[in-house]
Amino acid sequence: MTQADKSENQSFWEHLDVLRGYLIKITAVVVVCSIVAFFFKEQLFTVILAPKDAGFVTYRVLDRIGQALSGEQMPFFAVKLINTGLAEQFIIHMKTALYVGFLCASPYTLYLLYCFVSPGLYAQERKYAVRVVGSSYLMFMIGVCVSYFLIFPLTFRFLGTYQVSAEVDNMITLNSYMGTLFMMNLAMGIVFEIPILSWLFAKLGFISAQFMQRYRKHAIVIILIIAALITPTSDIFTLLLVAFPMWLLYEVSILIVKRV
């Protein structure tokens, strides 16, 4: 008897029991990954706090480009983070370790969830499920990397050094830094799912390339609105940094839908 036949012969409570077992495994792996991340505090926050330093890879690349084009170096900047709460640093440490634990355990989580639903799918549906889930995870991670290496550093450098007067110093809290970083990474990870959703909707016959081209102007307006909603700050610089990749993904989605 195949695994699919066994799944079909299981009762609702047996299915529920299998799901409970998978959820226990997922929770255990997340907890273990979070504990490991918690004890590697120095390495963890070296990576997370790297965009606030002038030696970050993005700033070095931009500095070299600026020297090649104009012969001038980018102005040096230094932003010092502060803490304003008694237990805030410890709480941020715990939350960060938990987030990293979820991220590290996500491939195993997706694998277990696929194992749970795959017995109820046909062979063709399993193939598409693997493609969609694998591509979605890959695009999400690409979106996180784009945010971490490009969008967030440029946003932080612009806003962290912006002054209305030389008499007003910027004092950025650790909580503000971490909240902005995580929010932008999550938002860009979700935004990079646009091509996958477009491919899926095209497969289902919900959209076409002609439809997306006809309503391109409407889509740009919607993109700007969404960028304004997911942007943690209210400045136009960050909004455009978030909206530009969304527009590029929309154009790429048109090409994908044409092929479908």
Q: Scanning the structure block, which residue is given the tokens 């209210």?
A: 234
Burial readout 191-217 (b: 16 or more C-beta within 10 A, e: otherwise): bbbbbbebbbbbeeeebebeebeeeee
Residues 2-8: contacts with CB under 8 Å, at least 24 apart: 3/119, 4/119, 4/120, 6/119, 7/119, 7/120, 8/119, 8/120
Give pLDDT, residue 143: 92
Give pLDDT, residue 145: 93
Question: For residue 6, what are the contacts with CB-CB under 8 A and spacing of at least 6?
Answer: 119
| Element (DSSP H or E) covering residue 81 | strand 81-82
- Single-letter code of the amino acid located at 230: I
Below-70 pLDDT ranges, the chain: 1-12, 232-235
Reference 156, options 248, 43, 72, 78; nearest CA is 78
Give pLDDT, residue 47: 94
Q: What is the pLDDT of residues 54-74, one digit of tens each?
A: 888 888 888 888 788 777 777
Give pLDDT, residue 90: 95
How many separate helices (H) and strands (E) can be counted in the chain? 12, 2
Q: What is the pLDDT of residues 154-165, one digit of tens each?
A: 888 888 888 888
Give pLDDT, residue 9: 60
Give pLDDT, residue 1: 44
Give pLDDT, residue 133: 85
Report if pTM > 0.85: no
